[in-house]
Structure 1
Amino acid sequence: MAADSMNGYCLSCYMVSMIIILLLEGAVTADILLNSDWEKDLPEDPTGKFSDFKDFVESNFDVCKWIMLVIISAQGLSTIIALVLKAHGPDPNYDSDYDYYTRSRLSLLNHNA
């Protein structure tokens, strides 16, 4: 919705949320890679499904690595595209947001897509 209407507020909220998610993913990844006792940080698993999941990831590490790389690349690319759309702006001939608020200027109210 934000990319189609090029609404600056929606793009800003999207960029901030994506940057926060990327930073959290980076922090968790760094904790797992740098901390050898990262499993002690997790709560106890009474079902035993975590060990099954861990065995699956270890046996298919190459596939999981590529899936993780694709997901993080897609998130980073979408954040960069949102930044470019925000920098481009909705209307280069429109000088101020405080001038005329007509229905044609408010793209979320007059959305034809």
Structure 2
Amino acid sequence: MRPSLCRSCLASLLKLLVFLQTFVGVSVLVYSAWILSYLKRHGDIDFDFDLDKVPAPWFVCALMGFGILVCLIAFTGHVAAEVISGCCLCFYAVLTTILVLLEAALVADVVFNKHWEDDLPHDSTGELKRLRAFIEDNIDIFKWVGITVVVVQALSLLLSVVLRAMVSKRRLDYDSDDDFLVIRRPLINPEGGPTYVATAVDSTGHHSDFWSSRMRQKYGLNQN
């Protein structure tokens, strides 16, 4: 009872962390969709694709792709926490690890590369510069937001690994129980054979006088 209760609590906590990640992904999607609608209203958007260059609103498309990726990973985590399946938990852990590594590589490039903007394609919408200026004006808030997101992802990854280990341990316990052969006897005779009244028989094979007197009394043979 206690292991199942512990798994349920960990699964509920994982669902909560996944909900927070979903909120982040949906927020990024709403922000990118708002930028696209704003650019479309002002006629500043151009989706002419060319093999030699990145499309003009590449930054907005990258934000939308990131939001979709976060939402898909969060959906996988919710399914894994709901069914507590080892395969789903392993898949969610792999996806979360890849996402964390990508985020860490991006942050490391921004921190250690002072000219990281020169490596990016030209953003004709100017949204990247506006977003950077907004982040610099509220750098303290965004630091805490970034730390919170990283902690949530790390905790969700840890919980998925722990739940995966618990599922594997439970499966091993079930396999070990199958090694023992349990012989069960039915409480009731399945054949249901007829029940006979025991009678006393003497050494010569004749019924005793007690049984004979009862039979004569039953069928009225004593009456003359």
TM class, shorter-chain normalised? 0.7 to 0.9
For the pair 1:19 / 2:97, whether they are aligned, the reply is yes
Give the Cα–Cα distance (whole angstroms) in 2 for the partners of residues 49 and 21 of structure 1.
24
Give the Cα–Cα distance (whole angstroms) in 1 for the partners of residues 128 and 83 of structure 2.
43
Q: Which is richer in helix?
A: 2
Q: Quote the residue 1:49 is aligned against.
A: 127
For the pair 1:68 / 2:146, whether they are aligned, the reply is yes
For the pair 1:10 / 2:88, whether they are aligned, the reply is yes
Post-superposition offset of 1:13: 0.3
Query: Equivalences for 1:26-105 in 2 at 5 Å?
Result: 26-89=104-167, 91-92=170-171, 93-95=173-175
Query: Which runs of no fewer than 5 residues in structure 2 stay unpaired?
Result: 1-78, 177-224
**3-state secondary structure, aligned to 2:125:** coil
Post-superposition offset of 1:4: 2.5
Give the Cα–Cα distance (whole angstroms) in 1 for the partners of residues 175 and 119 of structure 2.
53
Once the two structures are aligned, what percentage of the paired residues are identical?
A: 40
Query: Which runs of no fewer than 5 residues in structure 1 stay unpaired?
Result: 97-113
Higher relative contact order (CA 8 A, sep 6+): 1
TM-score w.r.t. length of structure 2: 0.41
What code does the residue aligned with 1:38 have?
A: W
Q: Quote the residue 1:110 is aligned against.
A: none
Structure number, greater radius of gyration: 2
**3-state secondary structure, aligned to 1:36:** coil
Q: Quote the residue 1:111 is aligned against.
A: none
**3-state secondary structure, aligned to 1:89:** helix
Give the Cα–Cα distance (whole angstroms) in 2 for the partners of residues 33 and 18 of structure 1.
22
What code does the residue aligned with 2:174 have?
A: Y
Moved more, 48-57 or 8-17: 48-57
Give the Cα–Cα distance (whole angstroms) in 2 for the partners of residues 69 and 30 of structure 1.
14
**Residues 28-78 of structure 1 deviation map (CA, whole Å, 9 limit, x = unaligned):** 111110000001111101121211111100000000111011011101100
TM-score w.r.t. length of structure 1: 0.79
**Residues 67-102 of structure 1 deviation map (CA, whole Å, 9 limit, x = unaligned):** 011011101100000000001116353228xxxxxx
Give the Cα–Cα distance (whole angstroms) in 2 for the partners of residues 48 and 79 of structure 1.
35
Count matched residues. 96
